[in-house]
Amino acid sequence: MLKRLFSFSGPRLATKLFIIMSVTMVVIPWFSYLYLREMEAFLIDSQANAQRLTAEGISTLLNGRTDLFHELPLSPDGYDQLYAHPLDSPVRIDGKDSDWEDILDFDLQFGGDTEQTEEGTQFYLLLGEHNELVYVLVRVIDDQLVFRDRTILRLDVSDHLRLNYTDALDRNRKLVITMPAPGVTTAYDIDDEWRYATQSGADNRVQGFVSETSDGYIAEFRFPLAMLGSTRQFGLAVVDVDNAVERSIESITSTLPSAGHEAYGLVLLKSPEVLKIVQGLGYSGANIQVIDTSKRVRAEVGSYDAAPAPETEDASAIDRFLSLTSRPVDAIFSALVARNSDFNPLASDQVISTALDGTPSHQLRYTQQDGEVIIAAHPIIAQDVTIGTVVLTQNTERILELRRDALGRIVNFSVLALFIFVALVMAFSVTLARRIRKLGAETTNAIDAYGRLRTNRIHSETESGDEIGDLARNISNMLSRLHQHNQFLENMPRTLRHEINNPLNALSTSLQNLASEEQPDNRAKYLDSAQRAVMRIGMIVQNLADAASLEEALEADDFEVIDLRELVSNYLNNCRVLHPKAHFEYRGTHRPVLSAVSDYRIEQLLDKLIDNAVDFSAPDSTITVGLTTEAHQLTLFVTNEGSTIPREELDNIFDSMVSVRQNNPDNRLHFGMGLYVVRVIAEHHGGQVSAVNLLNRRGVTVRVTLPLDRQQPEELLAAG
């Protein structure tokens, strides 16, 4: 019951192997992905360099062609250049600048401290062009708005806008855009004095809207590009009236050119000649722009939008399966790309600015709308001066498609390989578990319900060469040693009975003789015999107690650094007194040998070794005690001539209750605890003990190795 209560049931071996292999199969695609990232970086860098070379080739065609950047119906000298930015879509005429966000930073400032006027209202002008329509956004800074009074015929007595332009017949024309209130505006042809509308009335070609702002108003209107004629001369003025009663004009701020061409600027569109040059250079997935020093697009061809993949009606089952498995890959891929910090959404402006400074450059950009694109730019040079730049924008859809395909193949391969590996691992784990269960069952059956050994070895897996075979052999050896120990314990009562009976019989006989003897001399003899019997019984008990409590007693001992050579020398002097019939000799170093030990335990160790040597020595032989040093350890050895240790007993001679004595000199009791005590003391001091039979003569050498003290002088180590 207790075993069931405290037993722990962890994951099975098959489960652990399955988890390990699953993790491994996840790691493989991850490293494959890292490799693909490196490959992708190389491909993108190669594509970027190719784009820079292409941009350089296009710029070479335009180098020195300053005429292409001033290609206008009139010479640009003396005219302010009013650039109409190309718009991707038409602008909603609602008096708001929300449709102008992409080009809002390119507006032109007039008034204030500009050169166009000495004083007047400040305004910002922005022009755009889409489908032959010119869109105009005017943001006016005006602290007092005065709208038109419909009852007054004059059009110059309220805030209004004035337009000068040349029509298709090269005639100067004038328009006034009036604002009766926030909302829709009305444009009128005006007389030369800008006072009254002409008989032609309102010009419906100009559609506008006005909205109030916190610091003035925004006027937004459009008109056909054809209205400006072939010369595209255009001028705009903002007229400010602040007093709603007097209605006098406070200021007129206009886009007057610097050279004095009254009220006219030139509306710049894409340069036709430049467009002709780059028209045939565009290719799929690429956009080419020619930009002048004012960052105005003079020509543009191509698009970098990814072409949709062709749909196939008859797809095979494998293709449909790969399509299903590629969806999660695409989702993960998109998430990884979106978090890639290498893609800079502001890269376009940086690349253009760098190229206009005269340095070719390229950058990567990622947006949700465009995806990944590479922007490369190369300057256009004329007489060592940068007059523009060629910007080549191309998507990386081909590279991404390659990576997606590779990732899909890796995932599919990993899934297939995972199934194969799982099958192999399951088969291997089942075989392994069966072997382990068989070994465990035989090991369990080796002991009965009462803890007695049924056999001294096991047969399962002992012939295997793997780790399970090693485990089986170790278990078999353990059972063999336990069986030997159990036999010793089983024989112990009979041995104790025999050994204790001898002194008990001597004690009983001595006591009986002592009780019946009347002579004092004989009583002393019997009393001495009884005392020896009691001492033998006490020695038996003491030997058993010492062996049982030795390891606990060693934990309480204190170590100190002593000279073992001096201790051995003094010990031998005592041995010569205690064993006058034995011959002792010292061999080894005569220099101090320092070691941190318990001197009492070392003497106890020597007691056991000397007792064994004396007991097993041949008559008139010499017992050699020696001490040597090498490296960072010392060796204490005791050699005696006499009987040797059987070869099969050399490995376990230092185990407890193991004795190889064939005779018992002096009828003394030996439990085989002496050399066991030697091993325990040596290991407690961080050393080892071994026994070898002499080769050239009969006898045994027991060696005890102990560590030297760390402060041992190097010259003593060399001398030893």
Q: How confident is the model at residue 312 (pLDDT cuts 50, 70, 90)?
A: very low
Residue 195 domain flag? yes
User: Is residue 464's pLDDT more than 90?
Assistant: no
Same domain, 42 and 104: no
Specify the pairing of strand 80-86 against strand 122-130. Answer: parallel
Shared domain for 620 and 680, answered yes or no, is: yes
Question: Who contacts 343 (Cβ-Cβ below 8 Å, separation ≥6)?
Answer: 337, 364, 365, 366, 372
Q: Residues 652-704: pLDDT tens digits?
A: 787 765 565 544 444 444 555 678 788 888 888 899 999 998 887 688 999 99
Is residue 478 one of the residues assigned to a domain?
yes
Q: Supply the angle between the helices 674-684 and 599-616 in degrees, to the nearest 10.
A: 150
Handedness of CA 317, 321, 327, 329 (dihedral sign): negative
> Burial, 7: exposed, middle or buried (Cβ in 10 Å; 0-12, 13-18, 19+)?
exposed
pLDDT digits (tens, 9 = 90+) for 285-305: 678 888 877 776 777 777 766
Q: Are 492 and 396 within one domain? A: no
Task: Count CB atoms within 10 A of the CB of residue 672.
Answer: 17
Query: Are 110 and 41 members of one domain?
Result: no
Q: Say yes or no: 61 and 135 in one domain.
A: no
Residue 457 falls inside a structural domain? no
Please state the three-class secondary structure of 450-461 as a single string: CCCECCCCCCCC
pTM greater than the 0.95 cutoff: no
Do 567 and 521 belong together in one domain?
A: no
CATH number, domain of 124, equals 2.60.40.1190
Contacts 24+ apart (CB under 8 A), 122-127: 122/253, 123/238, 123/253, 125/82, 125/236, 125/255, 126/85, 126/100, 127/82, 127/83, 127/84, 127/85, 127/267
Q: Confidence class of residue 706 from pLDDT cuts 50, 70 and 90?
A: very high
Q: Which of 571, 607, 573, 569 is nearest to 590 (CA)?
A: 569
**Predicted local confidence at residue 505, as pLDDT:** 72
Residue 503 lies in a domain: yes
> At a CB cut-off of 8 Å and minimum separation 6, what does 704 contact?
605, 609, 635, 636, 637, 678, 682, 687, 688, 689
Asked if 627 and 606 sit in the same domain, the reply is yes
pLDDT at position 62 is 78
Q: Which of 548, 579, 601 is the last residue of a domain?
A: 548
d(CA 325, CA 408): 7
Count of domains for the chain: 4
215 in the same domain as 92: yes
- Domain with 487, as residue range(s), is 462-548
**Over the Cα atoms of the chain, what is R_g?**
55
Residue 716 confidence (pLDDT) above 80: no
Claim to verify: residue 107 and residue 200 sit in the same structural domain: yes
pLDDT digits (tens, 9 = 90+) for 582-626: 899 999 998 999 999 988 888 888 888 888 888 888 888 899 999
Same domain, 614 and 535: no
Q: Considering the chain, what percentage of its residues have pLDDT values greater than 70?
A: 69
